[in-house]
Structure 1
Amino acid sequence: MNTYYADLHIHIGRTRSGKAVKITGAKSLTLANVLETANYRKGLNLIGIIDSHSPEVIEEMEEMVCTGELTELNGGGLKYRDLVLIPGSEIEIYDKNCKGPIHVLAYFPNLKAMKQFSGWMGRHLKNIRLSSQRIYVNAVILQQKVKELQGLFIPAHVFTPFKSLFGRGVSKSLQEVFDPDLIDGIELGLSSDTFMAEGLKELNPYVFITNSDAHSLGKIAREYQALELAQPTFKELAWALQEKEGRRIKSNYGLNPLLGKYHETVCSKCQEKITGQEESCGSCGGVTFIKGVSKRIQELKGYFPNPVPRKRPAYIHQVPLEFIPGLGPKLMERLLDAFGTEMGIIHRASAADLQKVVPEKIAEYIDLARKGQLVIEAGGGGRYGKVRVLHKNRK
């Protein structure tokens, strides 16, 4: 088996003609730019583009196949240089069984299946061109359609307070909405990690995946996983999610959850953190809170305690390079010139190697960041946490 790095949740901001797909996505987040950035700058091996249902995005992919820029693989996926693209879609569910909207991810082995899914889905939502649109069918019917087309079905960022399975969609159990046998994995989201989520017995059957949910080129690979596969294809990815024939998720790499935008509970009026069981904000008196992921997971553990969690891959806390104090564009380019890609900087460059390229302090911060040893101020209420310059063990 070989190790491959995968980020399976990347948006398309604009089509080649300039039409919006993910409205909140950067204009520079085009298919061509995503492929180039993921391959040459980030050093990923496998990506999931989850706006591949948009007809113009499909057309772009088809044209790239015709010109030879993309090659459809026998095992599923489309090869670009050293990178394999898995076509996918993010969809919003809000049927009669949901307490609130839920985002899910669906992935398909080839463009034929993606086009079939897009055509079917276009009959059940208002605008097939856009990302993350609400579909007007029952959640289980959607799951069944994905499986009919040999796809993979994964609930997205499941604990986020808005538009997620446990954050908004259900009271206690995923079975309130989904057929549990038609789920292929659980995407944790930026404000949680394995250590927080493994205490939920209901999630024992599923592997955890960690993805960037990138709305800009720079955010690609802020979270990702290392996969052990024979080769990077859709079929091998499916086997890794099933932990079949030696394929597996080797390790998850993600933000320390404290950096996530929704880790802590905060007052929705003044953003003051709510640390206990207060009924009103001690700062402004507000009574409406944005419940943090950490608090929500603790509630869920009370419903489904898990005395014997399944064995899971290592979850490695990393601070993305863009968060490193003092690491500006010029120093970043020097690092890329020396080590090729961000994966090269993070996984292959030693601390001594880094010091040969950037100032010692910056090299130290990078090394601490990839070891998860920088001190972090927790985020919440839609605001990211912050990295503090001082770190553990420094006086």
Structure 2
Amino acid sequence: MKQYRVDLHVHIGRDSRGEPVKISAARDLVFKNIAQRAHSSAGVQMVGIVDCASPRVLRDISELLDSGHMSELEGGGIAYSEGAAEESTVIIGAELEASLPEGCSAHYMCFMPSIRAMQDFSSEVKRLVSNIDLSTQHVRMSPTELAKLTHDLDGLFVPSHVFTPHKGVLGACVPRIEQAMSEDGLELVNAIELGLSADTAMADTIAELAQFTFLSNSDAHSLPRIGREFNVMDMERPTFSELALALARRDGRGVRLNYGLDPRLGKYHLSGCDTCGARFSVQPGEPRVCPKCASHRVVVGVADRLAEIADHPTPHSPPHRPEYRYQVPLQFIPGIGPARIKALVREFGSELAALHDAPFERLARVVGDTLAGRIIDARSGALRLDAGGGGAYGRVSLED
């Protein structure tokens, strides 16, 4: 069994002809660029791209397959090598927004084993969305109907960033996933994505979630953010079928480690005021009012939401739950900009190798003693963090 670094949530900004796919994502987030970045500098060996139901993206994929730049794998997924010693794998997916009868809506990721399956998926949902060319469309299906369509095509169904107040099913809609799915719908959920503002310890205060595999993914809207969260998975090879076994924890496959941001670095960890930008905590039962400006336009943070809906005051983790390791991505560390990141990648092969494996002495030769020390402190959890909230990321603080 081998270990693979897996990030299953990366968006596409434009197609290869410059046409928009996700408006809020960077223009250089093109299908091939994502595969190259994950493969070469981010250090991710399997990457999930979640805007592949767009016919524009499907056209790009078909052209890459026809030209021989990529190839479909026997076990599902798309192989990319571009002259490197090892191939990396692209898992094609689609993130869609589905509503509950109560009127609230949440995001869900649907992964497919092949381009043919994604073409069939796209054809089915095309008539149920406003614009199939664009990302994360609202689909006129229930979450259970979307999950059933996904499984009818041999796909995998994963609720996205479940705790966030922005389109997370537990953060924005209901206190339990079973309330969002029909009676037989819960068994169609293959895994749960935690989101940047939560970790395993927080999620394992909800008893319902003990049955699920947790995923820590980047939700990248720009190339440098690929791999800011990832999973280490035990698989025989990097294919869709092996991924399915890993999420099901079958035949020795599974998630060995979750690597993710300290939740305090996430955009929605604390509650925040939409009026003045203040960040704060709201205790269960307290009025949702900004303590600074008295505005009622409060975005409830993940920590406060979990305090409301948790079954347990402390985590109750099942035996299958792997360790969650915090990471502070290089771009979050003060003083480490794009030029220094490029230098670190040249020296160590990938950002993740520099962040997690490189010794102080070698780091110091590339970026100097001070920045090398900050990377080591990031690795050990010694950096001071100011928590994010209300849509603003947390940050590393150098103040005493």
Q: TM-score normalized by structure 1?
A: 0.95
Supply the distance in 2 between the matched residues of 1:112 and 1:160 (Cα, whole angstroms). Answer: 32
SS in structure 2 of the partner of residue 358 of structure 1: helix
Distance verdict in 2 for CA 1:349–1:295, change over 3 Å: same
Alpha-carbon deviations, 1:270-303, whole Å to 9, x = none? 122333445333321212311010011111114x
Residue 309 of structure 2 aligns with an amino acid whose one-letter code is: L
Q: What's the counterpart of residue 300 of structure 2?
A: 291
Supply the distance in 2 between the matched residues of 1:308 and 1:256 (Cα, whole angstroms). Answer: 19
Residue 333 of structure 1 aligns with an amino acid whose one-letter code is: K
Supply the distance in 1 between the matched residues of 2:282 and 2:91 (Cα, whole angstroms). Answer: 43
The match for 2:219 among 180, 197, 213 is: 213
Q: What's the counterpart of residue 130 of structure 2?
A: 126
Indicate whether 1:367 and 2:367 are aligned. Answer: no
Supply the distance in 2 between the matched residues of 1:276 and 1:65 (Cα, whole angstroms). Answer: 51
Deviation at 1:308, TM superposition (A): 4.2
Indicate whether 1:346 and 2:343 are aligned. Answer: no
Deviation at 1:349, TM superposition (A): 1.5
Supply the distance in 2 between the matched residues of 1:286 and 1:342 (Cα, whole angstroms). Answer: 41
Contact 1:316 1:371 in 2 (8 A): no
Deviation at 1:16, TM superposition (A): 0.9
Contact 1:77 1:84 in 2 (8 A): yes
Supply the distance in 1 between the matched residues of 2:244 and 2:70 (Cα, whole angstroms). Answer: 21
Contact 1:37 1:217 in 2 (8 A): yes
Supply the distance in 2 between the matched residues of 1:223 and 1:40 (Cα, whole angstroms). Answer: 17
Q: What's the counterpart of residue 309 of structure 1?
A: 317
Residue 59 of structure 2 aligns with an amino acid whose one-letter code is: E
Structure 1 stretches of 4+ with a deviation exceeding 4 A read 304-308
For structure 1, which segment, 149-158 or 54-63, has the greater mean C-alpha deviation from structure 2 after superposition? Answer: 54-63
The match for 2:152 among 145, 148, 155 is: 148
Residue 92 of structure 1 aligns with an amino acid whose one-letter code is: E
Q: What's the counterpart of residue 265 of structure 1?
A: 271
Indicate whether 1:3 and 2:12 are aligned. Answer: no
SS in structure 1 of the partner of residue 14 of structure 2: coil
Supply the distance in 1 between the matched residues of 2:381 and 2:70 (Cα, whole angstroms). Answer: 37
Distance verdict in 2 for CA 1:87–1:376, change over 3 Å: same
Indicate whether 1:322 and 2:331 are aligned. Answer: yes
List runs of 5+ in structure 2 lacking aligned partners: 82-86
Supply the distance in 1 between the matched residues of 2:41 and 2:273 (Cα, whole angstroms). Answer: 39
Distance verdict in 2 for CA 1:272–1:181, change over 3 Å: same
Contact 2:204 2:316 in 1 (8 A): no
Contact 1:336 1:345 in 2 (8 A): yes
Alpha-carbon deviations, 1:246-284, whole Å to 9, x = none? 111110111100000100012222122333445333321
Supply the distance in 2 between the matched residues of 1:78 and 1:332 (Cα, whole angstroms). Answer: 28
Contact 1:316 1:372 in 2 (8 A): no
Residue 94 of structure 1 aligns with an amino acid whose one-letter code is: S
Contact 1:272 1:281 in 2 (8 A): yes
The match for 2:99 among 94, 98, 101 is: 94
For structure 1, which segment, 307-316 or 37-46, has the greater mean C-alpha deviation from structure 2 after superposition? Answer: 307-316
The match for 1:191 among 197, 210, 215 is: 197
Distance verdict in 2 for CA 1:309–1:196, change over 3 Å: same
Q: What's the counterpart of residue 163 of structure 1?
A: 167
Contact 2:106 2:169 in 1 (8 A): yes
Q: What's the counterpart of residue 175 of structure 1?
A: 178
SS in structure 2 of the partner of residue 316 of structure 1: strand
**How many residues matched?**
388
Q: How does 1:41-120 map to 2 (within 5 A)?
A: 41-81=41-81, 82-96=87-101, 98-120=102-124
Tell me the C-alpha RMSD between the 2 structures: 1.5
For structure 1, which segment, 254-263 or 346-355, has the greater mean C-alpha deviation from structure 2 after superposition? Answer: 346-355
Residue 26 of structure 2 aligns with an amino acid whose one-letter code is: A
Supply the distance in 1 between the matched residues of 2:89 and 2:52 (Cα, whole angstroms). Answer: 14
Supply the distance in 2 between the matched residues of 1:373 and 1:305 (Cα, whole angstroms). Answer: 26
Supply the distance in 1 between the matched residues of 2:243 and 2:313 (Cα, whole angstroms). Answer: 30
Percent of counterpart pairs with the same letter? 40
Q: How does 1:236-251 map to 2 (within 5 A)?
A: 236-251=242-257
Distance verdict in 2 for CA 1:328–1:88, change over 3 Å: same
Alpha-carbon deviations, 1:347-393, whole Å to 9, x = none? 33122221222211111111111232211000100001110125xxx
For structure 1, which segment, 20-29 or 261-270, has the greater mean C-alpha deviation from structure 2 after superposition? Answer: 261-270
List runs of 5+ in structure 1 lacking aligned partners: none
Q: TM-score normalized by structure 2?
A: 0.94
Supply the distance in 2 between the matched residues of 1:95 and 1:134 (Cα, whole angstroms). Answer: 12
Residue 59 of structure 1 aligns with an amino acid whose one-letter code is: R
Supply the distance in 2 between the matched residues of 1:334 and 1:360 (Cα, whole angstroms). Answer: 15
